[in-house]
Structure 1
Amino acid sequence: MDYIVSLLSDPAAWVALVTLIAMELVLGIDNLIFISILTNKLPEEQRSFARRLGIGMAVVLRIGLLFTIAIIVGLTAPVFTAFGHGFSWRDLILIAGGLFLVWKATKEIHHHVDPAPTNDVFEQKGTVSLGIAAAIGQILVLDLVFSVDSIITAVGMTEHVPIMVVAVLVTVTAMLLAADPLANFINRNPTVVMLALSFLLMIGMTLVAEGFGAHVPKGYIYTAMAFSAGVELLNMFVRRKQASGGAAH
């Protein structure tokens, strides 16, 4: 109890908490875009439940990982060297997660550009619908990748696990509140779906680059995403204005 009281009275702890919440919210945007696109492939009556279940299980996973910080931090130690670069378990997780995102985004882009059914029975089933178990499994896989990266970053900001837990809980609460509105917005606007998929493709390539030791400043990535989203919002505004003008005539 004294430990918690000392944290509450420490200005540095509050600064660390605000910084961590901001970082988790930014990383949460990536997760939320992926969750929105993935769950929109489910039957409509299952989408909201799948989002909440996926996010809820993800927070349990992330908090569980917080209590294995010593192991997580140890993942940064090189395990082998190739191409002159020492690869750690963290690097391998980022590369695997990045490739998964690139594959998933590319597959979804192909489906939206060429929705015609193929002769492959497996592909037909995969593009028509998605089971809740498969959706939640993919959500957890991606959350594991982002969790490992965010926890390692968080350790550099604070050594206090309670601060990290509070930051995760605040972020997940925000994700739960935003999940349905964002998913519905993406579902109603086909061009936004393509933009979101391109974001996932870019994030996937960034994760792969990070895994190979090429650091990409996150500010550049999210600035580009914000600019693209702003342009798309302007396009949507123009299209709606033209549509309302056409209806008036």
Structure 2
Amino acid sequence: MEGLFTFENLFTLGMLIMLQAVLGFDNLLYISLESKRVEPGRQSSLRRWGIGLAVALRLVLLLLLVKVLSLFQDTLFAINIEGLISGDFNLHGVVVFVGGIFILYAALKEISHMILLEAGEHVERKPSSYAYVLISVIIMNAVFSFDSMLSAMALTDNYIIMATAIVAGGILMILLADHVTEFLKKNRMYEVVGLFILFLVGVMLLSEGSHVSHLHLFGYEVTPMSKSTFYLVIFVMIAIDVVQSRYQKKLLAQAGRLGQTD
């Protein structure tokens, strides 16, 4: 036990906690948007329970990865259609690929709903089942966590350090979840940006799952979207939205002053 509190282990723990915080951004955004599907009075409860149970599931998955990592890398099935598509799909690739499809579907569904509302169509949305949304949050949290768990395993083989980082990341997400949701509620324009970020997350997961499965389309290998590219696109999207909103406010203020002079 004394060997745990070495400088190397403490440094690794700090690195893993920062990694959990960075990689958990898209996860937190998904939870905040998904929780809006239940009744308003139960949304905060769903976020806390969803993150808490997801952390427990992460710990179990991490233990499985440590013990039976080869099972996640072994080929489940292969596809080989000459000149069209080929790939060797393993459990890791399938989970990430399916998760990407689900995220794309969820993001596109919400975006289409917002477009319908903008067009003047009043669509009554009944609250979804609490249990259904909770299970969705837990499952997608597990999908999001694959990258962070594999990255953690690349930094250390100490389960206690990895588990501590996961728990710390979960506590941080619980503390921030309500604030993120409240911010999106007060700044609806950023909700649109958030949905497009989720769409990008889906694309990134699809590319990652394809890469892990060594997928080739029309003879070309599918390469994963790099994290640096992903965060750069997010930064550009947010920057454009901030500049556009401020410019729009300036134009409205100028129009108001012109109206008063007339």
TM-score of the superposed pair, with normalisation by structure 1: 0.86
Would you say the 8 A contact 2:54–2:139 is kept in 1?
no
Query: For residues 11-34 of structure 1, what are the alpha-carbon distances to aligned partners after superposition, in whole Å with 9 as ceiling and x for unaligned?
Result: 322332222222211221111111
Corresponding residue number in structure 2 for 1:217: 226
Give 5+ residue unaligned stretches, structure 1. Answer: 119-123
What is the DSSP-based 3-state SS (H/G/I as helix, E as strand, rest coil) of the residue aligned with 2:88? strand
Letter of the structure 1 residue corresponding to residue 183 of structure 2: F
Q: Distance in 2 between matches of 1:244 and 1:162?
A: 57
Note the alpha carbon deviations across 1:154-178, whole angstroms, 9 max, x for none: 2111100111111112211111111
1:189-228 matched pairs, under 5 angstroms: 189-213=187-211, 214-228=223-237
Find the counterpart in structure 2 of residue 60 from structure 1.
Answer: 56
Identify the match of residue 100 of structure 1 among 89, 94, 102.
102
Contact residue 72 and residue 148 of structure 1 kept, 8 A: no
What corresponds to 1:43 in structure 2? 39
TM-score normalised by structure 2 residue count: 0.82
Percent identity of paired positions between Structure 1 and Structure 2: 26
CA change 1:146–1:71 in 2 (3 A) is farther
Give the counterpart letter for 2:158 in structure 1.
Answer: H
Deviations 1:118-160 (A, max 9, x none): 7xxxxx6xx3322211211110110121223322222111100
Query: Is the CA contact 2:76–2:91 (under 8 Å) kept in the aligned structure 1?
Result: yes
Structure 2 stretches lacking a partner, 5+ long: 80-84, 212-222
User: Is the CA contact 1:40–1:187 (under 8 Å) kept in the aligned structure 2?
Assistant: no
Pair 1:132 & 2:130 matched: yes
Q: Is the partner of 2:224 in helix, strand or coil?
A: coil
Query: What's the RMSD between the two structures over aligned residues?
Result: 2.2
- How many residues align structurally? 238
Kindly report which structure 2 residues correspond to 1:159-198, keeping only aligned pairs within 5 A, or say none.
Answer: 159-198=157-196
Radius of gyration: which is bigger? Answer: 2
Change (3 A) 1:130 1:78: same
